[in-house]
Amino acid sequence: MFPILEKTELSSTVSKFVIGAPHIARKRQPGNFIMLRLDETGERIPLTIVDGDAGRGTITLIVQAIGKTTKALCRKRKGDVITDVVGPLGNPTPLEYHGNVACVGGGVGTAELLPIARGLKELGNRLGTIIGARTKDLVILEGEMSGISDWLYVTTDDGSCGRKGFVTDQLKELLEGGGIDAVYAIGPLPMMKAVSHLTKHFGVKTYVSLNAIMVDGTGMCGGCRVTVGGEMKFACVDGPEFNGHDVDFDELMMRNRTYADMESAADVPLHVRQDAILSNKKI
């Protein structure tokens, strides 16, 4: 069992958890993720390790309540326990000295970007960080990102915080100004696709972290297949970071929608699903 030692609500749908997991805390590196199962009958979901404290034996996760399992997790409280937390999994993010780096985070992807940005800063890079969300209430970790960035830009779709527009609007200005040597982008697939398309035009190296469907996180199930540079890769063991210019985002987005109806149905109470089946109605 893995105890929840701390819980902080960052927004109405996003929560931060500090979980006791000493073996993972000692080995985790930026970019690693864990597979989590709430109970013995629950599904396994991948979550990026946002932070860790080897001394305390803890890891930090930031979770957005979207599907059945993430909503159930966000209802957990301090003192509750989680049945399974397996990791660290995946390859560490390829961190190196580039010079001037643009770090781009969209939505809860900002949480996954935080340890990567810290690692890049520790290597001496100068960071221009862009974080975006649909609205002000969904902007997270602004203070933490500001503390490690040389420049911080905030964008929201509705203009309720920072610049109105998309992260790519701000990124385009930075690229047009010149001097950006690399880009690290994490967020929704359409956002990472748009970032990669933009940076390819400017010839700037770009890393993206792919949030593909995963079942076991060890390459056994094959559910996280992605096409990168015309070759089949597994996001869990070959990634999760890849060269954004080589990723077939259209194929990945289509595959990620494969189980959308089932995911929606799983979030409906059992008695409602049973009634729908009996009455031959669509949920």
Structure tokens given for 41 = 């009958």
**pLDDT mean across residues, the chain:** 90
Of the pLDDT bands very low, low, confident and very high (cuts 50, 70, 90), residue 215 is confident
CA-based nearest residue to 85, from 50, 33, 31: 33
Is the pLDDT at 271 greater than 80? The verdict is no
- Percent share of the chain, pLDDT over 70: 91
Is the pLDDT at 276 greater than 60? The verdict is no
Q: Is 222 left (phi over 0), alpha (psi -120 to 50) or beta?
A: left
Tell me the per-residue pLDDT of 89-121, one tens digit each, with 9 for 90 and over.
999 999 999 999 999 999 999 999 999 999 999
Is the pLDDT at 31 greater than 70? The verdict is yes
Tell me the per-residue pLDDT of 237-257, one tens digit each, with 9 for 90 and over.
998 999 999 999 999 999 877
Taking CA atoms, 264 is separated from 223, 229, 255, 268, in Å, by 19, 32, 16, 7
Would you tell me how many other CB atoms lie within 10 Å of the CB of residue 178?
A: 8
Of the pLDDT bands very low, low, confident and very high (cuts 50, 70, 90), residue 281 is low
Q: Which pLDDT score, from 0 to 100, does residue 223 have?
A: 82
Q: Report how far residue 87's alpha carbon sits from residue 73's, in angstroms, rounded to the nearest whole number.
A: 18
Indicate the pTM of the whole model.
0.87
Of the pLDDT bands very low, low, confident and very high (cuts 50, 70, 90), residue 262 is low
Is the pLDDT at 154 greater than 70? The verdict is yes
Comparing 258 with 30, which gets the higher pLDDT?
Answer: 30
Q: Report how far residue 83's alpha carbon sits from residue 10's, in angstroms, rounded to the nearest whole number.
A: 24
Is the pLDDT at 280 greater than 80? The verdict is no
- Domains plus CATH for the chain? 2-89 (2.40.30.10), 91-209 (3.40.50.80)
Instruction: Find the radius of gyration of the CA atoms of the chain.
Output: 19
Q: Which pLDDT score, from 0 to 100, does residue 12 have?
A: 83
CA-based nearest residue to 105, from 188, 197, 163: 188
Average pLDDT over residues 267-277: 59
Comparing 42 with 207, which gets the higher pLDDT?
Answer: 207
Amino acid at 48: T
Is the pLDDT at 197 greater than 80? The verdict is yes
Is the pLDDT at 178 greater than 90? The verdict is no
Average pLDDT over residues 271-280: 59
Tell me the per-residue pLDDT of 132-149, one tens digit each, with 9 for 90 and over.
999 998 999 999 999 999
Q: Is 233 left (phi over 0), alpha (psi -120 to 50) or beta?
A: beta
Question: Position of tokens 């203009």?
Answer: 159
Q: Which pLDDT score, from 0 to 100, does residue 11 have?
A: 84
